[in-house]
Structure 1
Amino acid sequence: MTDLNDATHSPEPAGRRAIVTGSDSGIGRATAVALAEAGMDVGITWHRDERGAHETADEVRAHGRAAEVVRLDASDAPACGDVVDDLCERLGGVDVFVNNAGTGSSTPFLEHGWDEWRHVVATDLDGPFVCLQRAARRMVEAGRGGRLIAVTSVHEHQPRVGSSAYDAAKHGLGGLMKTIALELGEHGITANTVAPGEIATPMTGQEDEDPRSKRRVGIPLGRPGDAPEIAAVIAFLASPEASYVTGASWVADGGMLQMGPQAGSHLAADDWRRV
């Protein structure tokens, strides 16, 4: 059995080579930079924003680390796995793999079309399965252990009206990561998810906005989160200090999920029933 963390208390990172999918902006970019700050070379992927990916690479290189940039379409499985293999070759291996690329939709269940359903599930579950598997195979073959981290959502745990495909995919990805943790623990590989709440990123239409300037009465901390706050959780899970953490979902939502019964007793209108 491989033990990645014989030097658990060393300041050295758990590995020197990381891949972060969807790292052209938002949580992905913040994560790539955080891992570079921790001493890792980073593989960066983009789907539509090539310029953003190269800007991320510039930030990684500013920390003295190498960066490789490739296009990855997470909905195109199993071809997206070949992109992961290519990045692994360019980096000389992979020690940390962060599945961050994803998409969503806002369509009531009865109106949800098959093509929209398949696109969301392919991007948020099928593609991640392939990419995580390719990275894991590399880790097992190398025999040094590794870290597999998937960015899910609070909707890995609780549903949202209008998000049937997204909720199903994120629930599935969370379950997949738990199974991976069971199966790959003997190889010194940990598998965890990070489940953000509302984060000020392009995906929520809040790019380049300070979340501390926004009021969210339904969140105990009273505001959306910031991408670096999620990246910090991911960087911890990629670190030696997280050597005994696996099969867990790390919720980072400002307390949003704790409001279930409170919201249920305090809502005064049926507005929540509609998208």
Structure 2
Amino acid sequence: MPLRNKVAIVTGGNSGIGQAIVLALAGQGAKIVIDYIVDEQAVEGLEAEIAKLGGQAIGVDADVSKPAEIQKLVDAAVQAFGRLDIMVNNAGVETRSSILDTTEAQYDRVMDVNLKSAFFGTQIAAKQMIGQGGGGRIINITSVHEDWPMPGNTPYCLSKGGMRMLNRTAGVELGPHGVSVVGVGPGAVATPINASTMNNPGLLAKLDAAIPLGRMARPEEIATLVAFLAGDGASYLTATTIFADGGLMQSSVGL
């Protein structure tokens, strides 16, 4: 198993892409800390599923919009498993609101959960990795919308654009310490965050038609990429984003 003896944290790890990432990393031998703020039963189910596979995982209730709660996640990883090798900043929300109708509260929530958590998740994880020695991998789940406009979802695009420069700048700063920082930019993925599209046959057909591969991604397809980036095969990647969008960015204006 390529990630045997590695320890990973996955924020927002009990649903959607995060859940798939947890299972992919555990399937390759990593010990996992699953961050969540709701649905503890889902976390318990994941822990049980991983245990049946011979792996180890613990759930930690932490609000990653607060740096102290991110520190709690890192401390839990070190206490339970002795170190931290892989940090996946995956937690994210959106408001589907435009520049004209976004409230301050909506703006703050999206920026705190998406960008602030990734910034301090990167910082706090990197400090742990540097202190313990041996380097590490930080993987930030961004979006095609770090580079590709989505009218009517402005705060989300702004947060993901910020993550683009976080990956680039932190990757340069942390490279000399042996810590790589890479973004994964999914396109449309069949997860609860896209429920409004998936539940509307007309919108779904329009979206599928705009994707050269003809369909939304499965969460497992994004998770497989994250697992690759956590392993030795991605040892020379940093300060960049890998897009997994089925070709969407090259074929259509924002939907």
Corresponding residue for 2:170? 180
Structure 2 counterpart SS, 1:200: coil
Q: Structure 1, unaligned stretches of length 5 or more?
A: 1-10, 265-271
Structure 2 counterpart SS, 1:45: strand
Corresponding residue for 1:84? 74
C-alpha separation in 2, matches of 1:139 and 1:252? 27
Please show how residues 14-29 of structure 1 align to structure 2 within 5 Å: 16-29=6-19
Distance of aligned partners of 1:14 and 1:257 in 2 relative to their CA distance in 1, 3 Å threshold = farther
Corresponding residue for 1:134? 124
Task: Quote how far apart the aligned CAs of 1:144 are.
Answer: 0.5
Structure 2 counterpart SS, 1:110: coil
Corresponding residue for 2:243? 251
Structure 2 counterpart SS, 1:149: strand
Structure 1 counterpart SS, 2:249: helix
Task: Quote how far apart the aligned CAs of 1:81 are.
Answer: 2.9
2:225 partner letter = V
C-alpha separation in 1, matches of 2:144 and 2:46? 26
C-alpha separation in 2, matches of 1:118 and 1:192? 25
C-alpha separation in 2, matches of 1:77 and 1:134? 8
Cα root mean square deviation, aligned: 2.1
TM-score by length of 2: 0.91
Corresponding residue for 2:113? 123
Corresponding residue for 1:222? 214
Task: Quote how far apart the aligned CAs of 1:184 are.
Answer: 1.1
C-alpha separation in 2, matches of 1:95 and 1:76? 21
Task: Quote how far apart the aligned CAs of 1:256 are.
Answer: 0.4
Corresponding residue for 1:204? 194
Q: Is residue 152–residue 196 contact of structure 1 (8 Å, CA) maintained in 2?
A: yes
**Partner residue of 1:194 out of 181, 184, 188:** 184
Task: Quote how far apart the aligned CAs of 1:15 are.
Answer: 5.5
Q: Is residue 10–residue 18 contact of structure 2 (8 Å, CA) maintained in 1?
A: yes
Structure 1 counterpart SS, 2:184: strand
C-alpha separation in 2, matches of 1:170 and 1:250? 13
1:116 partner letter = Q
Q: Structure 2, unaligned stretches of length 5 or more?
A: none
Which of these two proteins has the greater Rg computed from alpha carbons?
1
Task: Quote how far apart the aligned CAs of 1:78 are.
Answer: 4.1
Task: Quote how far apart the aligned CAs of 1:110 are.
Answer: 0.9
Q: Is residue 74–residue 84 contact of structure 2 (8 Å, CA) maintained in 1?
A: no
Corresponding residue for 1:64? 54
Instruction: After superposition, give the CA deviation of every residue in 1:18-75 in whole Å (9 maximum; x if it has no partner).
Output: 1111110111111111111111111101121211122222222222111111112122
Residue 102 (structure 1) aligned with residue 95 (structure 2): no
TM-score by length of 1: 0.85
Q: Is residue 15–residue 146 contact of structure 1 (8 Å, CA) maintained in 2?
A: no
1:255 partner letter = G
Q: Is residue 212–residue 248 contact of structure 2 (8 Å, CA) maintained in 1?
A: yes
C-alpha separation in 1, matches of 2:140 and 2:50? 21
Distance of aligned partners of 1:248 and 1:117 in 2 relative to their CA distance in 1, 3 Å threshold = same
Structure 2 counterpart SS, 1:93: coil
Corresponding residue for 2:101? 111
Distance of aligned partners of 1:14 and 1:192 in 2 relative to their CA distance in 1, 3 Å threshold = farther
Q: Is residue 70–residue 124 contact of structure 2 (8 Å, CA) maintained in 1?
A: no
C-alpha separation in 1, matches of 2:243 and 2:146? 10
Residue 34 (structure 1) aligned with residue 24 (structure 2): yes
